[in-house]
Chains A and B, each alone.
Chain A
């Protein structure tokens, strides 16, 4: 008998086992977070019996959630109550927000043996690891108060990094009382939507804020004609039987491309829209992230817009002014605004910046990362000029008086054919020449964007400005 078959057998099984063992280690390590968070995994209870859930902190260290051990009973305390309801979330009756996102770290502990021993001697659980977020308390409070009683959402992000600075959604709930109010929240025939984070999961007609995208497409298709573009607005625009109106029938008169954008002339943009190439527009929509998952770890909805060879003239008119079947999440609009502000890059938005142990040792840290380029730098510059015009001599004038320069786009989105009421939108950034913060506001059923959403954005930007001024002194 020969040696070769035995050697081949030995080699084959050795290779097979090495492959399997490498696979096992790789699989167990890379999937450990998802596997621990799986609701069928009983080890979460095991961990919570041993460790007390860690803290959630704002970027400056302010505690947003902690576990208190009063009267032999652990309770989760949220010092800011409703203000951070959706983004910080809750951890009983299911999980949400950062409580869900970072559950793995919150229930694990990385304290050293000495601290464990100390905890054991005092009869306490081991302190779980704490999560440091990117959230800014004063911005969040400003956004929360500015939105007042309106339903809607406010998002503030740093366009350079993708750090989420504030995220508010209303109606809200009190995470401190989630246990007591749970039945009430989930009953009411599903009409009580306070658990929905409208900032990421809400889908709204984008209205005139969508003109940013129409303008981008026009810049791409007709770069030479932008400067010579002009249009005479009579308050409405029609081709055959299909027509649209400017907001509340306003007559804009002679407008060029920049003033069409600044004054948000629907007629002029419908005129632009019907001339766009359907295939090219579809490609732009796809590359901007429509009908795709957004690059974020929080649950979010896919924005939706239709443009194909079947789109009619009426469809294109509706699409170009953000009406019809188009739906966008506030987060998506904010991400596009960020890309414009930073020169075209889609930054991956994130809310957890690091995980630290009780003693302050850093366990994990998250860094800004890009998720692809949305537009060329020249296109971003052109859009920024248009958006500056909105504040300088258009629908965003409220921001003109601010102590800082700002730019943006308003929107007043009609959501029902039965009423002329509209959702108020604003998305923009400041300072105009060196963007450091992007704010997106949606207020359901409030009225026009310029009148309602811009002042809310201004209060958030004011808070940011005051903070950065104070920081410099």
Chain B
């Protein structure tokens, strides 16, 4: 009986994930939240069915009913989030909230399989962040002066990153975090939001040379501090976010190309200058010749991805623990191993559909600041997904960033939830604009 459950649930979980993904893209095709509501309802059912199937598999495999408590808490929190959001923000975008819950759920299942204690911690942080996140759209919508505060954002961002550089302690050769009362906090994660606000605020109305130059100098300051802190992944994310926001604000292809050129040049210089970058690049090109050293993490990650096949070995059926820092850097490989490639690929497509929805809303909103904030959030998010998945699969060199919402890492989860909440604020502004337009049109003869 148990065997039947564990074996069949593999196909059920993959199938449900596939349905969920297809629904995500169907929803993208429909314009307007009202038309989408039918599909949203189906999506919620599929979301919770996937969660139930995962826990049925875990309990059948381990025989431990401890997981029932974790499951119960999760389903309550996720359901509450979805329902409350709909009640509080009927004008918000529900797809992003559903995806947030789906990805949090997958992360929780996978992290709890690797370490139960870490999963509980992660869950508490996620729940706490979500509660705070409910206030964010309203704040963003109400406090219009936020869009003019770019000097504050710039000072705060550069100041905080600089402080980490000086005060922070060294973790895995990268200076990443503050430790406050036993809680480790990664400022570079939070500064992502501040940085997006800074650039959006600077470029929202006019894009003259002075403003572009100022944005470039500020972005360069952020990136250089991060490179110097050996946080390459974050440095890349900040750079790509800046460049894309500049391109979207100015529609100037030359800015884009010179930015790419400068980035390429900087990469070559960095490659020559820093031995740890050379190590990463060599481990990417040929992990097998240095499998004892620099190539070990990528090699183990590839072992994981290749061992699961299309439908995975089932939760608790593989050996994701063999991959170093699996719950942070290589959660994608763990998911591919135990839940299968179909599931893992669908999950990434869900991330992509999340990104497309954010850009879609960015395109609809008229306000320049809101548009840039949304685009910045979308690009930051999707590029981070690209870095972590590509790095663990030998598509690009490994940079060691988390898969937002899925990987273990309190700050990352917190910041991604808040970023999505900020995006919902943008949606409120957009809905309001459209309502005003509607009223204007009514008044006209």
Contacts and interface: CB of A to CB of B under 8 A. Distances in A.
A47 to B, nearest CB: 9
A178 B356 CA distance: 60
A117 B3 contact: yes
Interface string A6-30: 1111100110110011011101110
Of listed A5, A35, A40, A41, residue having the most chain B CB within 10 A: A5
Interface stretch (B71-79, B217-225, B227-235, B298-306): B298-306
Interface string A188-224: 0000000000000000000000000000000000000
Contact of B318 (A9, A10, A31, A43): A43
A1 B348 contact: no
Contacts of B382: 13, 17
A16 B247 contact: no
A25 B393 CA distance: 10
Interface in A103-122: 113, 116-117, 120
A4 interface: yes
A28 B336 contact: yes
A248 interface: no
Contacts of A41: 300, 303, 307
B307 A35 contact: yes
Contacts, number: 116
Given A32-B306, A35-B303, A40-B299, A13 B7 contact: no
B30 interface: no
Nearest to A7: B363
Contact of B247 (A9, A13, A21, A46): A9
A28 B336 CA distance: 10
A28 B305 contact: yes
A42 B356 contact: no
A21 B356 contact: no
A4 B393 CA distance: 32
A31 B299 CA distance: 12
A257 B390 CA distance: 64
Interface in B241-271: 244, 247-249, 251
Contact of A24 (B251, B322, B395): B395
Contact of A6 (B4, B303, B309, B362): B362
Contacts of A6: 248, 359, 362-363, 375
Interface string B335-362: 0100001000100110010011001101
A29 B306 CA distance: 7
A113 B362 CA distance: 50
B79 to A, nearest CB: 30
A10 B306 contact: no
A2 interface: yes
A8 B363 CA distance: 12
B244 A9 contact: yes
Tell me what chain B mostly uses at the interface: helix, strand, loop, or mixed.
helix
A2 B363 CA distance: 9
A392 interface: no
A113 B4 contact: yes
- For A3, A9, A25, the residue with the greatest tally of chain B CB atoms inside 10 Å of its CB is A9
A36 interface: yes
A25 B341 contact: yes
Contacts of B147: none
Nearest to B304: A43
A116 B291 contact: no
Nearest to B389: A20
Nearest to A116: B3
Given A6-B362, A10-B359, A113-B4, A27 B303 contact: no
| B7, B8, B302, B386, most chain A CB atoms within 10 A | B302
A38 interface: yes
Contact of A20 (B322, B378, B395): B395
Contact of B345 (A3, A24, A43): A24
Contacts of A36: 303, 306-307
Nearest to A23: B395
Interface residues of B, number: 48
B305 A43 contact: no
A470 to B, nearest CB: 44
B319 interface: yes
B371 interface: yes
B302 A35 contact: yes
B394 interface: yes
B352 A113 contact: no
A454 to B, nearest CB: 46
Tell me whether chain A's interface is mostly helix, strand or loop, or mixed.
helix
B393 A23 contact: yes
A28 B342 CA distance: 12
Contact of B394 (A5, A27, A116): A27
B299 A24 contact: no
Contacts of B103: none
B168 interface: no
A169 to B, nearest CB: 29
Contacts of B300: 40-41
Interface string B374-403: 010011001100100110011100000000
A407 B319 CA distance: 56
Contacts of A20: 386, 389-390, 393, 395
Interface in B272-317: 288, 291, 296, 299-300, 302-303, 305-307, 309
A413 B348 CA distance: 63
B368 interface: yes
Nearest to A42: B322
Contact of A16 (B8, B299, B309, B386): B386
B368 A1 contact: yes
Contact of A13 (B8, B248, B352): B352
Interface string B1-12: 001100110000
Given A5-B248, A16-B386, A46-B318, A38 B299 contact: yes
Interface in A215-241: none
A266 to B, nearest CB: 46
Contacts of A25: 341, 345
B66 to A, nearest CB: 23
Nearest to A121: B3
Contact of A5 (B3, B251, B291, B390): B251
Interface in A328-365: none
Contacts of B371: 1
Nearest to A47: B307
Interface string A37-62: 01011110010000000000000000
Given A32-B309, A36-B307, 10 more contacts: A6-B363, A9-B378, A10-B356, A17-B352, A20-B390, A29-B306, A31-B302, A32-B306, A36-B306, A43-B303
Interface of B: 3-4, 7-8, 244, 247-249, 251, 288, 291, 296, 299-300, 302-303, 305-307, 309, 318-319, 322, 336, 341, 345, 348-349, 352, 355-356, 359-360, 362-363, 368, 371, 375, 378-379, 382-383, 386, 389-390, 393-395
8 contacts: A5-B248, A9-B248, A16-B386, A23-B395, A24-B395, A40-B299, A43-B307, A116-B7
Closest 6 pairs between A and B when the two form their complex, measured CB to CB: A35-B306, A28-B306, A41-B303, A5-B248, A32-B306, A2-B251
